[in-house]
């Protein structure tokens, strides 16, 4: 494959990941914190088209335009911009600056997750983020702090700039986990998605090989956390992902797969639930971008995050041309006046990725 052909292909798949993740975020914003039976009853079946988020969704996105993203994709786009600015070499200082810039500038900070919010507040006040939420008079943080899905929901660009290099993707993912998501649960989840995306954009990737890459990343993340993070009680992302994939392969319908995954894995803001759920839905959808984000949107609970993560994997694998083009145009129009042009971001990330 010539360099120009590879570059064009990379661009299409990088743009596919950025777009499908954002579209999943926007689609899932209308159903966040609902139960899947409520979603099916409200829409007469699974929701498959952008809806205005109602006031009772936890996302706080009720004022969003049709198809507009929330904090999930917004943080992802800020990370993409910072990676371009750093030519792919992201330091912890770069990431902290990026996170604070997002918190200062983004119109979506009102949707900020619980872990990120506490860390941003500490950083702004010049406090040690490693002491956020410490128990009593000790320096021990609670197990729940830093184990949510914020790192995984925004991490796709860490994989996009390292096509085929899962270890490099995991190293960049680790950088984005510190200081906010410094547990083995969050680090493993972020590395799972970064490694999956890094492999998905490669020529010859398929659903099975992307899952293998996600599992490799989950295992690598656990190893990196032993050296750079903190170990807390909680389920293994690797094991939970294997369970979710098994359930996805068993299921015969969307209703069945979301019931199975909710019952056996979960669908909450906890990384050990939502990230394996997203991987499972990606498998059930056979890597199709629309079906992957529809699965995340209709599973209930943290729908926008699950749909965004499943969309990142599916968009990276299938490319932008696999997206419903009318839906993609609506999405682009809704976010045109927002923080970033995703096609420009895709070009910038591609210029880094092609050097790999």
- In this predicted structure, what is the pLDDT of residue 141? 59
Instruction: Tell me the per-residue pLDDT of 279-315, one tens digit each, with 9 for 90 and over.
Output: 999 999 999 999 999 999 999 999 999 999 999 999 9
Closest by CA position to 234, among listed 265, 198, 272, 269: 272
Instruction: Tell me the per-residue pLDDT of 69-101, one tens digit each, with 9 for 90 and over.
Output: 998 899 999 999 999 999 999 999 999 899 888
Percent of the chain with pLDDT over 90: 77
pLDDT band per the 50, 70, 90 thresholds, residue 60: low
pLDDT greater at residue 68 or residue 179: 68
Instruction: Tell me the per-residue pLDDT of 190-211, one tens digit each, with 9 for 90 and over.
Output: 999 999 999 999 999 999 999 9
Averaged pLDDT, 263-269:
97
Q: How many structural domains is the chain composed of?
A: 1
In a domain, 139, yes or no: no
Based on the number of CB atoms within 10 Å of its own CB, is 309 exposed (0-12), middle (13-18) or buried (19 or more)?
A: buried
Domain that holds residue 76: 3-134+144-353
- In this predicted structure, what is the pLDDT of residue 163? 98
In a domain, 64, yes or no: yes
- In this predicted structure, what is the pLDDT of residue 272? 98
Query: Over 90: is that where the pLDDT of 111 sits?
Result: no
Whole-angstrom distance, CA of residue 180 vs CA of residue 150: 9
CATH number assigned to the domain comprising residue 120: 1.10.4080.10
In a domain, 22, yes or no: yes
- In this predicted structure, what is the pLDDT of residue 325? 96
CB-based contact 50:67 (threshold 8 Å):
yes
If DSSP codes are grouped into helix, strand and coil, which group holds residue 230? strand
Averaged pLDDT, 115-123:
70
Instruction: Tell me the per-residue pLDDT of 218-237, one tens digit each, with 9 for 90 and over.
Output: 999 999 999 999 999 999 99
In a domain, 197, yes or no: yes
Instruction: Tell me the per-residue pLDDT of 29-53, one tens digit each, with 9 for 90 and over.
Output: 999 999 999 999 999 999 999 998 8
> For the whole model, what pTM was predicted?
0.94
CB-based contact 36:300 (threshold 8 Å):
yes
Q: Which residues of 83-100 are buried (b: 16+ CB within 10 A; e: fewer)?
A: bbeeebebeeebbbebbe
Q: Which of 189-198, 210-219, 334-343 is predicted least confidently?
A: 334-343
In a domain, 109, yes or no: yes
Query: Over 70: is that where the pLDDT of 127 sits?
Result: no
In a domain, 74, yes or no: yes
In a domain, 315, yes or no: yes
Strands, E assignment, 80-169: none
Instruction: Tell me the per-residue pLDDT of 131-167, one tens digit each, with 9 for 90 and over.
Output: 555 566 555 655 556 799 999 999 999 999 999 999 9
């Amino acid at each position: 494959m010539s360099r120009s052909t590879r570059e064009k292909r990379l661009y299409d798949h990088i743009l596919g990941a950025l777009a499908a993740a954002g579209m999943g975020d926007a689609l899932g914003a209308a159903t966040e914190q609902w139960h899947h039976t409520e979603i099916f009853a409200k829409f007469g079946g699974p929701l498959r088209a952008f809806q205005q988020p109602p006031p009772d969704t936890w996302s706080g996105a009720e004022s969003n335009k049709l198809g507009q993203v929330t904090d999930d994709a917004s943080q992802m786009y800020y990370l993409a911009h910072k990676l371009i600015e750093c030519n792919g070499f992201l330091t912890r200082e770069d990431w902290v600056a990026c996170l604070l810039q997002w918190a200062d500038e983004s119109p979506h900070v009102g949707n900020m997750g619980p872990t990120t919010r506490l860390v941003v507040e500490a950083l702004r006040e010049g406090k040690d983020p490693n002491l956020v939420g410490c128990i009593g008079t000790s320096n021990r943080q609670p197990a729940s702090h830093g184990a949510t899905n914020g790192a995984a929901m925004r991490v796709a660009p860490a994989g996009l700039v390292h096509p085929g290099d899962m270890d490099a993707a995991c190293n960049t993912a680790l950088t984005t986990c510190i200081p906010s998501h410094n547990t083995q649960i969050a680090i493993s989840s972020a590395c799972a998605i970064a490694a999956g995306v890094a492999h998905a954009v490669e020529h010859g990737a398929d659903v099975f090989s992307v899952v293998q890459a996600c599992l490799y990343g989950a295992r690598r993340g656990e190893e990196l956390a032993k050296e750079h993070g903190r170990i807390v009680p909680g389920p293994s992302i690797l094991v939970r992902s294997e369970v979710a994939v098994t359930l996805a392969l068993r299921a015969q319908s969307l209703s069945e797969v979301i019931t199975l995954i909710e019952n056996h894995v979960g669908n909450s803001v906890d990384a050990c639930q939502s990230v394996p759920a997203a991987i499972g839905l990606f498998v059930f959808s056979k890597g199709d971008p629309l079906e992957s984000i529809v699965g995340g949107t209709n599973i209930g609970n943290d729908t926008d995050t699950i749909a965004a993560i499943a969309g990142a994997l599916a968009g990276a694998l299938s490319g932008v041309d696999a997206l419903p083009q009318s839906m993609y145009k609506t999405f682009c129009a809704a976010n045109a006046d927002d923080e970033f042009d995703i096609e420009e971001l895709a070009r910038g990330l591609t210029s880094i990725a092609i050097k790999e």
